[in-house]
């Protein structure tokens, strides 16, 4: 999980969103902390639904953020 910090974060259309800052766990499961290219950092539950693909070797994570998060973007 620590290997995910610093990876490029992309949306489902492979458009860059930002970078993974860290993966936290406050007791209710893993959460990825993302610093977008612009705007405030956000956290997203690290689930198969929200984070469908991780490719550490190529240096990227794909996310499918919920509509609530996209509306804030």
- What's this model's pTM, rounded to 2 decimal places? 0.84
Q: Is residue 20 within 8 Å of residue 5, measured between CB atoms?
A: yes
In order, the DSSP letters of 2-65 are GGGTT-EEE-TTS-EEEEEEEEEESSSSEEEEEEESSS--EEEE--TTT--EEETTTTEEE---
| Mean pLDDT (whole number) for 37-55 | 93
Q: What pLDDT is attached to residue 71? A: 44
**8 DSSP β-pair partners:** 19, 60
Reported as a single tens digit per residue, the pLDDT across 62-72 is 999 877 766 45
Quote the CA–CA distance of 51 and 33 in Å, as a whole number: 12
- Per-residue pLDDT tens over the stretch 1-17: 678 889 999 999 999 99
């Amino acid at each position: 999980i620590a290997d995910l910090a610093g990876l490029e974060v992309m949306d489902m259309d492979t458009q860059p969103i930002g970078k993974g800052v860290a993966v936290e766990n406050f007791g209710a499961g893993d959460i990825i902390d993302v610093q977008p290219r612009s705007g405030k950092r956000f956290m997203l539950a690290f689930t198969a639904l929200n984070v469908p693909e991780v490719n550490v070797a190529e240096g990227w994570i794909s996310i499918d953020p919920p509509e609530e998060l996209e509306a804030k973007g």
